[in-house]
Structure 1
Amino acid sequence: MNAHVQGFFDPTTFTVSYVVHDPATKNAAIIDPVLDFTPRNGRTSTQSADAVLSYVDEHDLKLDWLLETHAHADHLSAAHYLHEKTGAPIVIGAHITDVQQVFGALFEADDMKPDGGDFGRLVREGESLPLGNLGISVMHTPGHTPACVTYLIGDAAFVGDTLFMPDYGTARADFPGGDAATLYRSIRKILALPLQTRVFVGHDYLPAGRNEYRWETTVAEQRAGNIHAHDGISEAEFVAMRTARDKTLEAPLLILPSLQVNIRAGAMPPASPGGHVYFKLPVNAI
């Protein structure tokens, strides 16, 4: 039996979070949950995360895991909030320590555990986690960041930002530790999965010519039609395209607050002596 997948789209950050569960046992995982954040006034909200939790409760699911595909640079993770509400452990790729090393130093995050200890479990290529009768297999798919992983659950692959819908293409590779050639190889690894594999992407940006957001595709559709990485595109061609395109992209709007939270597994920086929580804004540093 294949996994049941429910997507939750956040129009503010164009992020898709997922609840995936085994229909036979109702064991479930939440993937890439969003903590709402308004940069104009520095306010957070758990509306998006609570909608996901409501779905879990309404369907009487047993939440086993909170899965992060990588340390996101475009939205704050709600993993810490959900962990406090449910007790489910937070899972991320073991190479999160590479990301923590860079951004922990940038933000002087001395409270952060540099060994990834803020997360409940670090996973590597080939590891498996239980999920009812299905299980979760881990593929290390770096390139966008060094810590990116793809989670395989039944016939479904949750690829984070490595791939987008075929008419939008692929992730940027210009973040620290990112690399276009590595990204190409990770994409080919994903596209070597069976053609009927369902592929669930981490964002959709509604490219020209399409009037509704989508986040589910297949390996066959990606291989036939991904505008950046369809079959026949060489590594050299991809690297040249990706490098040129990345030079035109601005930093994500929420990169600075997002990374300060996400390297801490979704937790806020520690409060000041006066009881306030602050994000740091490094000037001329990125």
Structure 2
Amino acid sequence: MTAQTTIRAFFDPGTWTVSYVVADNATGAAAVIDPVLDFDVKSGHTGTRSADQVLAYLKERQLRVEWILETHAHADHLSAARYLQERVGGRIGIGEHIREVQAVFKKLYNLERNFLPDGSQFDHLFKDGETFRIGEVEATALLVPGHTPADMAYLLDGAVFVGDTLFMPDVGTARADFPGGDAHTLYRSIRRLLELPPGTRMFVCHDYPPAGREPVWETTVGEQRRSNIHVHEGVTEEAFVAMRNARDATLDVPMLILPSIQVNVRAGHLPPPDDNGVSYLRIPINALPRQAVPTA
């Protein structure tokens, strides 16, 4: 069957993040998935190099953006959703359980009183199994919690975009120690994805390649079933949970978690500026353990 869509990936080496443009070949309608806003921790400056590459591609192909899709509130990069929307339009969508994530982090950051953890910062909150269209192409939003409560995968045209839930087979799976995360839930979400037809193309949001391999971001459901180092066929839920919990206990907090989350729960908006016109990111002092973030 001829593909209805063209998929273009954009790899950001600073955060090991992959963003995507998915275009309906018949109409020129497009969705952007997980766009990156550059951020320099040392200077506090944002940048748009990564997002501008996406914009250049959209302009070159004369694509019309209908959706800007987030798979979850990322802890490893700032979202460029708002920057892109201001330039090319589109509705910013994320899973409806973002409300739970917002509630946790409003408390951690002691965010301003008028920040409401109700998801209203986004244009659309997807329910599990909800269908929507990119031009003439039907897509389905799949709830895949475990990494966070709000993780979504997007299934369309024989391809699935899985965010952080799964990585490439030789890298494994997402951590499950973020607020509201749970290894049991993550395993069940992964099994849901691996029940898709084996030929389904799978696109991941990050690649952390082992030594000797260049970054890649496309695999298949069948390849994940055969050779994912954490959840290949035969790995039980109990074995996965034991592995995941032990591994997560050794992982450092992501470098950009504190600046990124307070932007990403706002759909890519920076915090409102103070009376001097400057926006400030809040860094809670001694509020996070050194290696693991608190559970909700």
**TM-score in terms of structure 1 length:** 0.98
Question: Is 2:154 aligned against 1:151?
Answer: yes
The amino acid across from 1:77 in the alignment is: S
Shift of 1:87: 2.1
User: Does the residue aligned with 2:134 lie in a helix, a strand or coil?
Assistant: coil
Displacement after TM superposition at 1:276 (Å) = 1.4
For the residues of structure 2 that align with 1:199 and 1:16, how far apart are their CA atoms?
13
Task: Provide the C-alpha distance between the structure 2 equivalents of 1:168 and 1:112, rounded to a whole number of angstroms.
Answer: 37
Provide Cα deviations, 1:149-181, integer angstroms capped at 9, x if missing partner. Answer: 000011110000000000000000000100000
The reply to whether residue 186 of structure 1 matches residue 189 of structure 2 is yes
Show the 5 A alignment for 1:78-227.
78-110=80-112, 111-208=114-211, 210-227=212-229
In structure 2, the residue matched to 1:77 is 79
**Paired amino acid for 2:130:** E
User: Structure 2: which amino acid aligns with 1:144?
Assistant: H
- The answer to whether the 8 Å contact 2:77/2:260 transfers is yes
Q: Once the 2 structures are TM-superposed, how far is the Cα of residue 113 of structure 1 from its aligned partner?
A: 2.9
Alpha-carbon separation, structure 2, partners of 1:82 and 1:174: 30
Distance of 2:16 and 2:109 partners within structure 1: 26
Report the CA distance between 1:112 and its aligned residue. Answer: 2.4
Uncovered stretches (5+) of structure 1, i.e. residues with no partner: none
Deviation at 1:133, TM superposition (A): 2.2
Unpaired runs of 5+ in structure 2?
Answer: 289-296
Whole-angstrom CA distance in 2 between matches of 1:36 and 1:104: 23
Following TM superposition, the consecutive aligned residue runs of length 4 or more in structure 1 with deviations greater than 6 angstroms are: none
Contact 1:125 1:140 in 2 (8 A): yes
How far off is 1:25 after superposition? 1.6
Q: In 2, distance between residues paired with 1:35 and 1:43?
A: 10
Cα offset, 1:246, TM superposition: 0.1
Tell me, yes or no, if structure 1 residue 9 matches structure 2 residue 6: no
Q: What TM-score comes out, normalization by structure 2 length?
A: 0.95
Structure 2 Cα separation of the partners of residues 152 and 4 of structure 1: 14
Aligned length: 285
Q: C-alpha distance in 1, partners of 2:223/2:269? A: 37
Q: Percent identity?
A: 58
Q: C-alpha deviations, 1:10-58, integer Å up to 9, x for none?
A: 0000000000111122211000000000000000011111110110110
Which residue matches 2:291? none
Please tell me the root mean square deviation across aligned C-alpha atoms, in Å: 0.9
CA contact (8 A) 1:104 1:263 kept: no
Q: Distance in 1 between matches of 2:214 and 2:88?
A: 33
The aligned residue for residue 53 of structure 1 is: 55
Q: Deviations over 1:95-130 (max 9, x none)?
A: 000000000111122242311000000001110111
Whether the 8 Å contact between 2:64 and 2:88 is mirrored in structure 1 is no
Match of 1:22 in 2: 24
**1:222 alignment partner, SS class:** helix
